[in-house]
Amino acid sequence: MSNADIRQEPSAQQQLQPYIAKRAEIDLSIEVVLLVVGGVFFLLFGVLLFLITRGMLPYSEASMYGLFVVFVSMQIITMGKTPFGDFLRSWFIVIIGLITAMIGTLAIFFPGYLSVEIRILAALIVFFTGALGLLQLFTARDKARIWMKVPGILQQLTVACVLVYTIELFLGIITLLPGIVPNRLTAMMCRIFGVSLFYLAWCIHVVHRQYRHGEKTAPSTPPSKSGFCLLQEASLTVGNTFNTYQGCLMILLGFLVLFNILGIFPSFNSDGQIGLLLVLTSLQLLALGQFVGSQVTRSWLVLAVGILCAAAGIFSCIVPGILTGIILPILGLQNITTGVVLLGTQIVAPTLYGIRHRPAEPVMLPQIIRRLFLVLMLTGIMTIVFGINMIAPVFLPNLLGMVVYAILLPLLIIIMGLLSLILVSITRKLQRGAATPS
């Protein structure tokens, strides 16, 4: 081998690095991620239901249905997929999704008060999704009629859709009319349904890879402002969608904590609360690669960790009182690490770099950038304090006093939710500014 060849090898390796990194990244769409987590939900519930029926495990039925409604709501918010079909993801659809998500969240937090209502809502969602899904699958011109004519993955996609919609139809009837079939049969159908969701997720993932060249790219210009604002398409990225729901969740949680301290509301289900937070963490990891305030490559190991977190959160919502002592400190450490990383990478590091590399002339940052830094700094500090409270719930009361703590805790949670919504607003403005041609 010549010296010229040896000198060329590092350059060739550098050119291949982006390609290797891209190959290492497992690109899962939000639709595939929600289907996979839904498959974990039904598969795990099908296994647990056997033990629950035998009296070997406690069971929070309303919390389980509430978590399912939250999953459906995430589909509505992120993709515009509703039980009645696919719609333009307008602000009206997003608001409906947020309302149903809050209903599901309340059922998770207060499982003893919304048990009948949330079961009926979940049953209607499953029933109409299955019935109308089957109807649209065979009547729409761009679905099964075309897919069955193309050998390969599109035919498998048709089979997966038929399987999922058919089981949903029966599960909706079983949920709407409890007791008409034995719990063992229900558990078996849930396990089959979970496997069917995995199969459907795999088919959609393969279709996206094979037909990616035919996908339409979103225009770089901002959406039109004509027409009624609620019917316009919501310009929310997947990350902003998660932040919007998380902001609404934290505001709701803060008021619930306040009303609980004042004695207006009863104590809520802490197992469901931490389970829901862990499921949200897994969704962000699987869909965006976001974990503890940093961006990670979505490798198979990362996906396995995300699925494991989702399973633990789902288990905590369905079976209360078992994983609380394990999940709570983990979530606390995650929040502390997230806050520290956020402050270090977004605030401290840019500030030190600016001090060490001062420009020749002073540069004034735009007001929106200064506002963004302030929001990120406050978010990092609040996240650290929230994590400390989760790990050592007696530390802050002893430090501040019970009265001050009772006032500051709900205020802290509400401010975290507001900061999340403000961050969404700022990032949307920055995206619109970047999309506007100069």
**How much is the average pLDDT of 296-320?**
89
Q: What is the pLDDT of residue 19?
A: 43
Q: What is the pLDDT of residue 41?
A: 96
Q: What is the pLDDT of residue 435?
A: 56
Q: Name which residue leads in pLDDT, 17 or 98.
A: 98
Q: What is the pLDDT of residue 18?
A: 45
Q: Name which residue leads in pLDDT, 266 or 221.
A: 266
The span from the CA of 56 to the CA of 33, in Å, is 31
Can you give the C-alpha Rg of the chain in angstroms?
A: 24
Model confidence at 163, in pLDDT bands (50, 70, 90)? very high
pLDDT in tens, 137-146: 988 888 888 8
Q: Name which residue leads in pLDDT, 162 or 219.
A: 162
pLDDT in tens, 387-421: 887 777 666 667 666 666 777 888 888 998 999 99
The token duo for 153 is 């993955």
* 28 within 8 A of 288, measured Cβ to Cβ: no
- 290-291 vs 294-295, strand pairing mode: antiparallel
Instruction: Give bridge partners of residue 85 from the DSSP assignment.
Output: 82
Least confident of 63-67, 110-114, 284-288, 344-348: 344-348
Q: What is the pLDDT of residue 5?
A: 46
Instruction: Give bridge partners of residue 82 from the DSSP assignment.
Output: 85
Residue 412 phi/psi, 5-degree rounding, is -60, -45
The alpha carbon of residue 100 and the mean position of all alpha carbons in its chain are separated, in whole angstroms, by 15
Model confidence at 436, in pLDDT bands (50, 70, 90)? low
What mean pLDDT value characterizes the chain?
82
pLDDT in tens, 41-97: 999 999 999 899 888 889 999 999 999 999 999 999 988 888 888 888 888 999 999
Q: What is the pLDDT of residue 16?
A: 42
